[in-house]
Chain A
Amino acid sequence: MSLLSFRGGVHPPHYKEATERCKVEKAKEPTRVVIPLQQHIGAPCEAVVKVGDKVKVGQKIGEAKAFVCAPVHSSVSGEVKQITKMLAPTGEAQCVVIESDGLNEVHESVKPKGDLANLSAKEIIEIVKEAGIVGMGGATFPTHVKLSVPPDKNVDTIILNGAECEPYLTADHRLMLENPESIVFGLRAMMKGTNVSKAYIGIENNKPDAIESMKNAAKEYNEIEVVGLQTKYPQGAEKQLIYACTKREVPSGGLPMEAGVIVNNVATASAIGNAIKTGMPLIERICTITGKGIKEPKNLLIKVGTSIKEIIEQCGGYNGTPGKLILGGPMMGHAQYTDEICSTKGTSGILVFTPEEARLPEPKACIRCGKCVEICPAFLQPIYVSAYSLNNMYDTAEKYRALDCIECGSCSFICPSKRPLLQSIRVAKREIIAKKRKSK
């Protein structure tokens, strides 16, 4: 099997040993869930329940009022206690607080959607939208938007991302081992929904068992090809994955669609499969809870809205004093100030570092080693973009194509002087975009 890849990238240690062999367990039923009305990129939802309402599992509690928006559903049955602004993983957000009655009564709207053969493309996309499905790799972009191909665009390929190139995380890996059929079913639904006849499932070759398992599940379908990818970060980044599988480059500043490709995470495909087969919207997901700061690392199936603190308690609690709490992986995940927040559709990992691991390295002067230039998968020169950003020369930073940065963090990772490269590039990006908005 030849290994596909892209140019650039780094090789962080995997740290996956702690959980890669842990079967997915169901997390304890939460007694109370806090469900943010915005768990996706785009406009927030509007609450369609009131305080005091009884809700059931799978019942819609937030309605999407815009196109780039995904509805949210209750993950438990019980009573709405509060609708208020609270701290969520992505910042302050309007949240619906539901106290569970422990019965897990399923809402009437949750019904199997019938045979894939009898569903039209439009119906499939509608199901995806109504199920509130978003990109589950962490980016949480509403999936129905990705699948709605404008008539002037020609999409011929779907790629499922099973690379899981972030260190520590094993949620997708376990899913591919334990429920490959659901992924393939979801993929076929997407192919039908977008009228695409070719699909790849890309998996890094450090997971040979997952490659095997997916090959097996897809063997009846000639149009689906399972491909091994070189183990390298950021193999799962959208543009890099497209290049690895198809050798096509997404135009700078453009969407994957412009290269004729749609990329989705394997977990997203599985959620789609689930939504069609059972009718259950996206209310739970697999999450890897790991790191030296966790007593018993696990892969858990957790309901959206469960408190992170409770989840960590189920994993034996903290191993000593925690130094850093990260939602997502160590390369692109978000560090949190507190564990008193809820999990969301995008919580692929909960990673806890010891204070030792969390200590920030002291940045030194750049020694111009050129390593950041050598490894940037977007082919930027992080050394210069960052330097111009630090000097407030955002126009020059833009000329050095700051906006093409995919924020993978490889440059900061590799820099021997421990310079905060990505951090400063983000600042430049923000400034440039703000200026563009103003001048519009």
Chain B
Amino acid sequence: MENRLIASSSPHIRADESVNKIMRDVVIALLPATLAGVYFFRMGAVKVILAAVIAAVLTEAAIQKICKKPVTINDWSAVVTGLLLAFNVPASAPWWIPVIGSIFAIAIVKQVFGGLGHNFMNPALAARAMLLASWPVQMTAWVKPGVDAVSTATTLGMLKEGTGEVLPSLGDLIIGNVGGCIGETSALLLIIGGIYLVYRGVITPRIPVIYIGTVAVLMLIFGGFDITYMLTHVFAGGLMIGAIYMATDYASSPVTPKGQIIFALGCGILTAVIRKFGGYPEGVSYSILVMNVVAPLIDKYTSPRVFGEVK
């Protein structure tokens, strides 16, 4: 009996946390917005979401098989990437757009750098940027919610171009009854998912709150203290999904609390500046990608003050 005793180093108990659980929680948090996307954009959304998720999972499995690494598709992380990518694609896109996006996200951005935890950029966002650069037409063919898929512009697009179209009401914006990418429409459901993630301890409110807050304050100033203008910027477009689900991506954001604050501030400032002064009506993706690149630097210079240390 004696030699069967395991004499390992302390601690001898571990928390009931695991990568699978965390990723599954993210999927659960994204479900309401997914269903809303399907409700608003019908079969178009179903097709894009399925294509993205299936392609992501298959790519992960295939690459790990080829590299003779343990296949980790049951950790749900590929599902998360696929889902997030689908959220960033218009419902009118042909099926191969999300497929190419997912393959790129998993194969290039995630696995080439060593897999989960090693990607220095958010895979879904990087893939979206690639798709947008390569197929700008398909990636911006927005449709109005509903069965007929009437083409439209996004709210932010209308705001930027000043097309004179009637802007959707704030209520529609918050619920998501507007044109845009599949998953970025319903601010309300995205926020509910975010609250679930905070409650489950998957993310801290730090990054989303500071990110969205910064955009709100800057847009208030840029818009000459027009509250509706500010709220439109907060609830329209990719800010909610970006701030809650993309900027909080573990691998590509800082781990230190102070670093996360700086990171979120940076994302917010960049987003506001791009939207106001840049060439794009959006700006969330590029802001986060840029901050992803500097995240390791931020981490390096924001080491917390050690307990008892006089700085």
Q: Which residues of A are in contact with B by a Cβ distance under 8 Å? A: 10, 12-13, 167, 239, 243, 249-254, 321-326, 330-340, 351, 353, 355, 358-361, 364-371, 373-374, 377-381, 383, 400-401, 404, 407, 409-410, 412-418, 420, 422-423, 426
Contacts and interface: CB of A to CB of B under 8 A. Distances in A.
Contacts of B6: 323-324, 335, 358-360
A337 B4 CA distance: 8
Nearest to A421: B11
Contact of A338 (B5, B254, B256, B306): B5
Contacts of A413: 11, 13-15
Contact of A400 (B250, B253, B303): B303
B301 interface: no
Contact of A367 (B13, B14, B251, B260): B251
A323 B5 CA distance: 5
Given A239-B307, A321-B4, A367 B11 contact: no
Contacts of B4: 321-323, 355
Interface residues of B, number: 43
Nearest to A333: B10
Nearest to B114: A365
Interface of B: 1-15, 17-19, 21-22, 114-118, 201, 204, 250-251, 253-257, 260, 303-310
Given A367-B251, A414-B17, A332 B11 contact: yes
B245 to A, nearest CB: 15
A12 B255 contact: no
B309 A404 contact: yes
Contact of A330 (B1, B11, B254): B11
A334 B115 CA distance: 35
Q: Which 3 A-B pairs have the closest CB atoms?
A: A409-B11, A370-B255, A252-B308
Contacts of A410: 11
Candidate in B9, B10, B250 with the most chain A CB atoms within 10 angstroms: B10
A367 B9 contact: no
Given A10-B15, A373-B257, A414-B15, A335 B8 contact: yes
Contact of B256 (A365, A381, A426): A381
Which label, helix, strand, loop or mixed, suits the secondary structure of the A interface?
Answer: loop
A367 B19 contact: yes
Contact of A417 (B5, B19, B253, B256): B19
Nearest to A380: B306
Candidate in B2, B11, B303, B304 with the most chain A CB atoms within 10 angstroms: B11
A419 B256 CA distance: 18
Contact of B10 (A334, A365, A417): A334
B255 A332 contact: no
Contacts of A355: 4
Nearest to A373: B255
Contact of B12 (A10, A251, A335): A335
16 contacts: A12-B15, A13-B13, A167-B13, A252-B309, A337-B2, A337-B3, A355-B4, A358-B5, A369-B255, A370-B256, A379-B307, A383-B255, A409-B10, A412-B14, A416-B18, A416-B21
A324 B251 contact: no
Contacts of B10: 330-335, 407, 409, 422
B275 to A, nearest CB: 28
Contacts of A420: 9
A366 B117 contact: yes
B22 A251 contact: no
A337 B5 CA distance: 6
Nearest to A13: B13
B250 A369 contact: yes
A352 B285 CA distance: 52
Given A251-B308, A379-B307, A416 B8 contact: no
B117 A379 contact: no
A361 B14 contact: yes
Nearest to A243: B307
Contacts of A417: 18-19, 117
A383 B304 CA distance: 13
B257 A418 contact: no
Contacts of A377: 307
A404 B304 CA distance: 13
Contacts of A370: 250, 254-256, 260
Given A252-B307, A367-B250, A331 B11 contact: yes
Contacts of A334: 10
Contacts of B118: 365
Given A412-B14, A413-B15, A417-B19, 19 more contacts: A167-B13, A249-B307, A251-B308, A330-B10, A330-B12, A331-B10, A331-B11, A335-B10, A337-B3, A359-B6, A364-B19, A366-B117, A368-B253, A378-B306, A381-B256, A404-B306, A412-B11, A413-B13, A413-B14
A239 B308 contact: yes
B307 A322 contact: no
Contacts of A360: 6, 8
B219 to A, nearest CB: 29
A333 B8 CA distance: 10
Given A322-B5, A323-B5, A249 B257 contact: no
Contact of A254 (B2, B13, B19, B308): B308
A361 B12 CA distance: 10
Contacts of B117: 365-368, 417
Contact of A324 (B12, B254, B306): B12
A358 B257 CA distance: 34
A365 B116 contact: yes
A379 to B, nearest CB: 5
A379 B309 CA distance: 10
B22 A368 contact: no
Contacts of A383: 255
A404 B11 contact: no
Contacts of A369: 22, 250, 255
B306 A321 contact: no
A91 B307 CA distance: 31
Contacts of A12: 13, 15
B119 to A, nearest CB: 10
B304 A381 contact: yes
Nearest to B9: A423
Contact of B257 (A324, A340, A374, A415): A374
B185 to A, nearest CB: 28
B115 to A, nearest CB: 6
